[in-house]
A and B are shown apart, each in its own frame.
Chain A
Amino acid sequence: MTRRLPRWVWLVPVVTAGALAALAPSFGQTQVQPAETTTQVVGTQAAAAQPAAIQAAAAQTVETQAAAAQGDCLAPTAVMRRTHPDLLRHERRVTVHDGVRDPQARLENCVTCHAVRDAAGTPVSFQDKRHFCQTCHVQAAVRIDCFSCHRSTPATPVVAGGPS
């Protein structure tokens, strides 16, 4: 009654795991080597449509971000790439509910330090594909909604207490 599986069936998990292992590190390198990872991850069709924009954006990110000049931010870059969602989720809980406001760990600092400026020198918003967060999140196809409420660009200072 039971139908025997073909002999080559063991190849399926092995090949899948191998392919994943080969691709996984490239997710962490998207900013450093945009040209290679674009071809590798997105595939030929998408790469043909986007490579110029993504390469330009990534190049500009690396060159213009204030963060690059300041070295590691909260943690080494490799740690930040992996754990920034956890850090953000933790901070939002302790800040909103407990009122603990760590001056270092503010989303405001992230978007200020990692601001990407356009040709006119204006910081681009999250709507723009060149935005620091977008450069990876577009490729990883992870849609984040932080910036539907949070500001995605450096803020202009406000006069304390408002107009008098």
Chain B
Amino acid sequence: MTEQRATSGRDRRFVLKAALAGGAAAVLAPGVFLIAETQAREPAAAASTAQRWGLLIDVSRCAEGCTRCVDSCRAEQGCEDRGPGAADPQWIRQIVASDPQGGATITLPVMCQHCAEAPCVDVCPTGASFHRADGIVLVDRHLCIGCRYCVMACPLGARFFVDRDLQDQRPATPRGKGTAEGCTLCVHRIDAGQRPACVEACPGAMVFGDLNDADSPIRQALARHPVTRLRPDLRLGNGVQYQSL
């Protein structure tokens, strides 16, 4: 009796494994095909977990004083720039870090890391801060009540709050008073098969791609270089990773 039960258990496991493998192949194959062709989904297709968008930033190639990523982000998303000292949103900002002992400085851009285990998504009371299927962390402003929990929860200060009436927003980037916001990884451009504006403007320090696709440039770069994630102690599963940091 016991033996028989064990055998049937093995059989069930085998069937389950076969079903899982078949399902995975069926799901992955069209996804891989799409990425190889255009990196874009069909307009009517929803974002899927077949993709996981990520960024690799080579800090050694990020030049101090170069603000192309920051400027292109502002131009693309229409964030205001009222000069130094103003509490303007910084969806991407340039950080200059120095070693207190040696004195050497490094420059790196910091933006929303599109974490797999995002604290902003955890704390949001209305579900406005959410994790899209392809790994992009977004704010649904229709649901945002402006409580600013996400602003406080983000360990990198990558969330911002709009505290004034705005006019003439960019059509693809609705932003408004009383809602939280942050880097969207240029989700409207990704949906159109383009790269984020910062990557487009960067002279070569940023690689964008699908972390699930073994043939993508970002995966090939990740296979060659060791990378660092910001706040690795929190184990957030950052979508943005840094090389030579």
Decide: A151 near B174, CB < 8 A? Known: A100-B46, A102-B44: yes
Tell me the minimal C-beta distance from B136 to chain A in angstroms: 8
CB of B8 within 8 Å of the partner chain: no
Chain B residues near A155 (CB, 8 Å)?
170-171
- Count, A-B residue pairs, CB within 8 A: 90
Query: What mask results when residues 28 to 71 of chain B are scored 1 for a CB within 8 Å of chain A, else 0?
Result: 00000000000001011111000000000000000000001001
Q: Determine whether the beta carbon of A99 is less than 8 Å from that of B176.
A: no
Instruction: Tally A residues with Cβ within 8 Å of B.
Output: 27
Which residues of A in the span 125-164 have a Cβ within 8 Å of any Cβ on B? 125, 148-151, 153, 155, 158-164
Chain A residues near B168 (CB, 8 Å)?
125, 151, 153
Q: Determine whether the beta carbon of B43 is less than 8 Å from that of A148.
A: no
Decide: A161 near B138, CB < 8 A? Known: A101-B43, A101-B191: no
Decide: A100 near B200, CB < 8 A? Known: A153-B168, A162-B73: no
CB of B134 within 8 Å of the partner chain: yes
Decide: A162 near B169, CB < 8 A? Known: A99-B132, A149-B176: no
Looking at chain B, what size class is its interface with the partner chain? 35 or more
CB of B140 within 8 Å of the partner chain: yes
Question: How far, in whole Å, are A108 and B45 apart by their CA atoms in the complex?
Answer: 20
Q: Determine whether the beta carbon of A149 is less than 8 Å from that of B179.
A: yes
Tell me the minimal C-beta distance from A143 to chain B in angstroms: 15
CB of A96 within 8 Å of the partner chain: yes
CB of B116 within 8 Å of the partner chain: no
Q: Which of A98, A125, A162 contacts B47 (CB under 8 A)?
A: A98
Binding site for B on A (CB under 8 A): 92, 94, 96-103, 106-108, 125, 148-151, 153, 155, 158-164
Since A101-B43, A161-B197, A162-B75 are in contact, a sample of 13 more A-B pairs with Cβ atoms closer than 8 Å, ordered by chain A residue number, is A94-B46, A96-B142, A98-B46, A100-B43, A108-B171, A148-B165, A149-B169, A150-B174, A153-B168, A158-B75, A162-B72, A163-B201, A164-B201
